[in-house]
Amino acid sequence: MNKNPASAVGRFKEINMKYEITDIEHPEYKQLRRIRALIDIGTDVKAGDLGGYVESAYNLSQYGDCWLYDDSRMFDHSRMRGNSQMHDHSLMLDYSIMLDNSRMHDNSMMLDYSRMFDYSHMHGNSRMHDHSEMRDYSQMHDHSMMRDHSRMHGNSMMSGDKVLSGDAVLSGSTKYRE
């Protein structure tokens, strides 16, 4: 058995790893490295394209079409799976997780143990903290914030400077905005 780590990486590339972690450091957060596509991913990422930044291979799955674009960043034990996408300057920290077809744009942020899945979207400067959860076709815009154990599901939308906290639930086609 060969115990050379470099040869182990080579074996993984042979089974179609979709990205590699480059030596390109983030200009501000030196523990982050930029990713590079090794194969075409979805319809808009081509082999050789640079993506966002990860702290480790744990952050971004090698399966599905999930991808970090632009200057998006993943720290700590945050995870992205399925066909999720992060764009612009979006940020994931701690133990946050994105699954399925969820999307983050602009300066949106997930931290702590927040979870986002199905077809949920975050835009603007929206924030998810603590154990908050978004699913189904839920959307957050502007400076909206979820914290504590709040939940959004079922095509709900929050915008403006609204805050959903405690054990609050926004569901159905409910719109919570200014």
34-47 burial string, b = 16+ CB within 10 Å, else e? bbebbeebeeebee
Domain spans of the chain? 16-176
Residue 172: pLDDT band by 50, 70, 90 thresholds? confident
- What is the average per-residue pLDDT within 127-135? 96
Q: Residue for token digits 């075409």? A: 40
Give the model's confidence band at 177: pLDDT under 50 very low, under 70 low, under 90 confident, else very high.
confident
Within the chain, where are the H helices? 5-14
DSSP string, 152-177: E-SS-EE-TT-EE-TT-EE-TT-EE-
Task: Look up residue 173 and give its two tokens.
Answer: 């086609």
Q: What is the CA radius of gyration of the chain?
A: 17
Predicted TM-score (pTM) above 0.75: yes
User: Per CATH, the architecture of 16-176 is what?
Assistant: 3 Solenoid (2.160)
% of the chain residues with pLDDT over 90: 87
